[in-house]
Amino acid sequence: MTSITRTVRMLCAIAFVTPLVAAHAQSYPSRPVRILIPSPPGGGTDILGRLLREGLADKWNQPIVVDNRGGASGQIAADIAAKSTPDGHTLLFTYGGVLTTGLPLFKKLPYDPIKDFTPIAMFAQVPGVLVAHPSFPAKTVAEIIKLAKAKPGAMAHGTSSIGSSSHLNMVLFKQMAGIEMLQVSYKGDGPALAGLLGGHVLFAFNNAVAAAPHLKSGKLRAIAVATAERIPTLPDVPTVAESGLPGYEGLLFYCLVGPAKLPAAIVDQLNDAVTKAKQRADIKQHLTRLGAISVDMPPAQLGSFLKSELAKWTKVIETGKITPE
């Protein structure tokens, strides 16, 4: 076969396939869309996932069904999504830890957190904030580090369950600061917050949404935020990075992914739909009220972000020799 013949056949194949891909995207969705959520109803992931569902519902003529599959640290919902048909009718709306900390924590998963998913869209990030009981003597990151170095392993901090964002944010903090502290673990964000408010532990990382009313009432004091930049809801609170630990960033984020090999045309259509949904006035209001920051990312950028976050937290978890409870 001559090179000219091969070229002609290739062009014919492209000409044949392209209209089919376009037609597929234009007819999507052709039946109800299921959005899997790896947590029970009522939690932060569920609230944001249902907010996304509302934003997409008025754009499509097909029903959108939220399917809560909590348990196993998100593995149940993620496994169903990874093994679903890659046609865009089964999606996973998830908090970032399912894709970025599960593998280093559990060592083995029923899916590959990168290879078995197609990145679609970032939805929002909920900032972490380092908060303290009013009786805690340290008022800055530098003062915390100084106190911890004066008595290694003696100063106690609170944390939510092992592997949670509040726990791993503090592990990263200790590693970067080169300090040792006593960890007091609680079974969930609620008990950890109660421990702080009661003065049983004097400081911890919490998410800005849960901490907001207690910061406003004066029952807790903000020391620093765990984001790369200061956040609108706490403009006077410095970042951990600008407070003495350059490069520190510990985020709780939420994104939409699908199974591997999802057609690019559908991925782009979904990314555009998510971006436009977040521009709705009511959804903007809800996100602001929840303390969540809307973040847009093209699919390729989200894919790179997930890989870098997986590498980052794998190092943190392995260095800290962290194992699940």
pLDDT classification of 189: cutoffs 50, 70, 90:
confident
88 and 117 share a domain? yes
Could you tell me the CATH number of the domain that includes residue 73? 3.40.190.150
> In terms of pLDDT, which residue wins out, 289 or 177?
177
Mean pLDDT on 111-123: 98
Write down the pLDDT at residue 65: 96
pLDDT at 27: 87
Q: Is the pLDDT of residue 269 over 70?
A: yes
- In this prediction the pTM is 0.86
Is 147 found in the same domain as 99? no
Asked if 196 and 284 sit in the same domain, the reply is: no
CA separation (Å) from 62 to 50, 89, 177? 16, 10, 51
Residues 260 and 119 in one domain: yes
Residue 14: inside a domain? no
CATH number reported for the structural domain that contains residue 182 in this entry: 3.40.190.10
Q: Is 248 within a domain?
A: no
Note the pLDDT tens digit of each residue in 313-322: 999 999 999 9
Domain assignment present for 118: yes
Domain count, the chain: 2
Q: How many CB atoms are closer than 10 A to CB 282?
A: 10
Across 166-320, the runs of DSSP E, i.e. the strands, are 182-185, 203-207, 221-225, 252-259, 293-294
Domain end: 213, 243, 273, which one? 243
Residue 2 clears pLDDT 60, i.e. is over it: no
Helices (H), the chain: 3-26, 44-57, 75-82, 97-100, 102-106, 141-150, 165-177, 189-197, 208-217, 264-277, 281-290, 299-319
Q: What domain range is 224 assigned to? A: 128-243
pLDDT band for position 22 (cuts 50, 70, 90)? very low
User: Are 85 and 26 in contact, with CB atoms under 8 Å apart?
Assistant: no
Strands 64-68 and 33-37, by their bridges, are parallel
**34-53 mean pLDDT:** 92
Which of 191, 219, 243 is where one domain is finished? 243
**Helix (DSSP H) and strand (DSSP E) numbers for the chain:** 12, 11
Q: What is the DSSP string of 291-325?
A: T-EE----HHHHHHHHHHHHHHHHHHHHHTT----
Distance CA 179, CA 229 (A): 24
Rounded distance between C-alpha atoms, residue 82 and residue 178, angstroms: 38
Query: pLDDT tens digit string along 97-115?
Result: 999 999 999 999 999 999 9
> Residue 295's closest CA among 229, 247, 196?
229
pLDDT at 40: 87
pLDDT one-digit tens code per residue, 209-264: 788 889 999 999 999 999 999 998 899 999 999 999 999 999 789 999 999 999 99
Check residue 77 and give its pLDDT: 97
13 domain-assigned: no
Percentage of residues in the chain with pLDDT exceeding 90?
75
| Same domain assignment for residues 133 and 231 | yes
